[in-house]
């Protein structure tokens, strides 16, 4: 009875308090539901909101003033994070000058963290997106859930009100794993979300402890921030006995897309305009080919984000989804550009090729592959005693990277997390310093 009553009361308190908010989360949630179920009719609303955003940006931000009078998205420049970092004040709307607005920071996984100012409407929109897409995965407000991520400055009372348990993955040692496993076995724990890689490690730990699906009450696992390999996904579903729904989200935007039961990522066109641009230019990527994900946030009025390169690669699906949801879908989200590897000829090598091959080598328990320069690579390995497979590993990797690849192997006791708490298998330091060479964009100076 308590397991049912607790979530119900929490949900009631949230919506009663929300009724006094202006703007309210409920109004945004209703709008998202209406737009994502409207099919072709939703495009008219999206076009109107896009025109309103572009008019607002050109009238109130120094950077976009040079584009005043233009309401065609393609006429606006493609923007990367470094452009905003170099001219942050020029991207902020004068309408909100001096207002104490909420600030969202990026994780800093692929460079220095950057802060974005959010209008009250945008903040409500983000909350509504989380509620909407969580409900699609079977979760309702007030239900007990676990979140695997680093969250700072959140008060304990907020955790209690949200019925949330936080698993901070900064140090994933035996006590951390044991505590997380115990919490997940709570009979009221129905939902697990957060960084994909720590969730995978936690699932592996539970499996090694002999846990079976009947020992958990989880209804869904929703990984974010990192891409799961097919093996990791299968292992998570096997041990917890529930479906995995990948969520595509970012700190600067919100929930961009979420996977349905047919396995496709449905784009959140109620809040964003999506483009997939070619790797080497700002023209649309041909159908069926990999493109850079470029996002325009229809609700980013305090700091307009127009044609923003989020740093991910994806393929747009042309055919309707079998699930019946009319929104466009991504056939494949290939991960972040800075988590792609280039061979010695400058061609992209899928990180999954490296991951799947290294998983086949007996004795490797953890690894991280780093590209340092155009032809210099480092492989960090945590291995079992007696491991003597370095030469085999180098030979294996050179089949994909090229025989001229300079590969150094570094044995370590633990693979450290990034500053954000994420634990990617692949990092491309070379691309971080030379993004202008892959996915080149032409910087546009702010208007005087």
Is the CB of residue 341 less than 8 Å from the CB of residue 397? Answer: no
Which residue, 26, 87, 73, is CA-closest to 272? 73
Q: Flag whether 376 is in a domain.
A: yes
* Confidence at residue 245, expressed as pLDDT on a 0 to 100 scale: 94
Section 104-120 average pLDDT: 69
Cα separation, 45 vs 206, whole angstroms: 47
180-218 tens-digit pLDDT = 999 999 999 999 999 888 898 899 999 999 999 999 999
DSSP 367-379: EEEEE-SSSEEEE
What is residue 267's predicted lDDT score, i.e. its pLDDT?
95
Count CA atoms closer than 13 A to 147's CA, side-chain side.
Answer: 16
β-partners of residue 373 are: none
Q: How confident is the model at residue 110 (pLDDT cuts 50, 70, 90)?
A: very low
pLDDT-wise least confident of 54-58, 83-87, 438-442: 438-442
Residue 107: the pLDDT is 56
Dihedrals phi, psi of 184, to nearest 5 degrees: -65, -20
Question: Taking the model in full, what pTM does it have?
Answer: 0.79
Would the pLDDT of 437 be above 60? no
Residue 199 lies in a domain: no
Name 410's bridge partners: 380
* Whole-number pLDDT of residue 366: 84
- Which carries the bigger pLDDT value, residue 105 or residue 102? 102
The total number of structural domains that make up the chain: 1
pLDDT of residue 406: 96
User: How distant, in Å, are the alpha carbons of 156, 184, 211 from that of 166?
Assistant: 10, 11, 21
Q: Would you say residue 436 has pLDDT above 70?
A: no
Distances (CA, A) of 274 to 47, 83, 113, 210, 325: 12, 19, 23, 44, 17
Q: Is residue 296 part of a domain?
A: no
Would you state the structure tokens that stand for residue 84, as one six-digit string?
């905003």
Model pLDDT, residue 336: 64
For residue 248, give the nearest of 230, 287, 222, 218 by alpha carbon: 222
Mean pLDDT across 401-408? 94
86 vs 308: which has the higher pLDDT: 308
Q: 90: buried, middle or exposed (CB in 10 Å: 19+, 13-18, 0-12)?
A: middle
CA dihedral (367, 371, 376, 382) in degrees, to 10, reads: -10
* CA atoms of 88 and 361, how far apart (whole Å): 47
pLDDT at residue 171, as a whole number: 72
Contact (Cβ atoms closer than 8 angstroms) between residue 253 and residue 305:
yes
Q: Residue 406 domain-assigned?
A: yes
Q: Which residue has the higher pLDDT, 332 or 324?
A: 324
Q: Is the pLDDT of residue 222 over 70?
A: yes
Residue 365: its H or E element: strand 364-371
* Position 366 in a domain: yes
pLDDT tens digits along 9-45 = 999 999 999 999 999 999 999 999 999 988 778 889 9
- What is the chain's mean pLDDT, rounded? 86
Domain for residue 204, yes or no?
no
pLDDT the model gives residue 197: 82
Give the model's pLDDT for residue 88: 83
pLDDT digits (tens, 9 = 90+) for 392-404: 999 999 998 999 9
More confident residue, 261 or 436: 261
- 430 burial via Cβ count (<10 Å: 0-12, 13-18, 19+): buried
Identify the pLDDT of residue 87: 83
Mean pLDDT of 43-69: 95
Cα angle 259, 128, 192 (rounded to 5 degrees) comes to 50
Q: What percent of the chain has pLDDT over 90?
A: 54
User: Does the pLDDT of residue 378 top 70, yes or no?
Assistant: yes
Q: State pLDDT tens for residues 230-261.
A: 888 999 999 999 999 999 998 889 999 999 98
DSSP string of 74-141, one letter each residue: GGSPPB-HHHHHHTHHHHS-GGGTT----EEE---TTSS--EEE--HHHHHHHHHHHHHHHHHTT--T
C-beta separation of 217 from 241 below 8 A:
no
Instruction: Show the domain range for 357.
Output: 340-433
Q: So what's the pLDDT on residue 337?
A: 60
Write down the pLDDT at residue 244. 95
pLDDT of 352: 67
- The pLDDT score that the predictor gives to residue 98 is 86
Strands (E), 183-284: 189-195, 220-224, 247-249, 255-259, 265-267, 272-277
Check: CB of residue 310 under 8 Å from CB of residue 253.
yes
| CATH code for position 362 | 3.30.300.30
């Amino acid at each position: 009875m308590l397991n049912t009553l607790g979530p119900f009361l929490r949900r009631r308190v949230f919506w009663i308090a929300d009724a006094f908010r202006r703007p309210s989360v409920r109004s945004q949630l209703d709008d998202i539901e209406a737009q994502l179920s409207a099919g072709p009719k939703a495009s008219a609303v999206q076009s109107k909101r896009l025109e309103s955003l572009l008019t607002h940006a050109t009238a109130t931000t120094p950077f976009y003033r040079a584009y005043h009078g233009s309401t065609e998205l393609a006429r606006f420049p493609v923007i990367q994070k470094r452009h905003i970092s170099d001219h942050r004040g020029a991207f902020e709307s004068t309408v909100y000058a001096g207002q104490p607005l909420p600030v969202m920071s990026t994780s800093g996984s692929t460079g220095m963290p950057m802060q974005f100012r959010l209008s009250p409407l945008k903040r409500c929109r983000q909350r509504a997106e989380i509620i909407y897409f969580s409900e699609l995965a079977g979760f309702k407000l007030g239900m007990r859930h676990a979140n695997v991520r680093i969250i700072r400055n959140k008060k304990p009372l907020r955790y209690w009100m949200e019925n949330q348990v936080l698993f901070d993955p900064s140090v994933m040692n035996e006590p951390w794993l044991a505590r997380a496993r115990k919490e997940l076995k709570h009979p009221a724990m129905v939902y697990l979300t957060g960084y994909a890689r720590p969730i995978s490690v936690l699932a592996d730990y539970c499996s090694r402890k002999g846990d079976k699906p009947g020992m958990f009450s989880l209804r869904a696992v929703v990984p974010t921030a990192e891409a799961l390999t097919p093996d990791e996904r299968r292992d998570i579903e096997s041990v917890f006995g529930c479906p995995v729904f990948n969520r595509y989200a970012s700190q600067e935007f919100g929930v961009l897309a979420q996977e349905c039961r047919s396995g496709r990522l449905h784009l959140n066109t109620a809040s964003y305009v999506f483009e997939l641009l070619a790797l080497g230019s700002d023209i649309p990527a041909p159908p069926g080919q990999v493109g850079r994900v470029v996002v325009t946030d229809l609700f980013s009025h305090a700091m307009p984000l127009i044609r923003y390169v989020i740093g991910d690669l994806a393929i747009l699906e042309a055919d309707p989804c079998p699930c019946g949801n009319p929104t466009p879908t991504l056939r494949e989200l290939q991960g972040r550009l800075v988590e792609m590897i280039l061979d010695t000829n400058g061609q992209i090598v899928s990180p999954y090729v490296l991951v799947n091959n290294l998983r086949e080598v007996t004795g490797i328990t953890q690894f991280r592959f780093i590209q340092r320069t155009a032809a210099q690579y480092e492989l960090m390995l945590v291995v079992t005693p007696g491991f003597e497979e370095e030469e085999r590993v180098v030979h294996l990797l050179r089949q994909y990277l090229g025989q001229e690849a300079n590969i150094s192997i570094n044995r370590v006791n633990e693979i450290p997390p990034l500053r954000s708490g994420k634990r990617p298998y692949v990092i491309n330091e070379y691309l971080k310093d030379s993004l202008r060479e892959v996915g080149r964009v032409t910087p546009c100076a702010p208007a005087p």
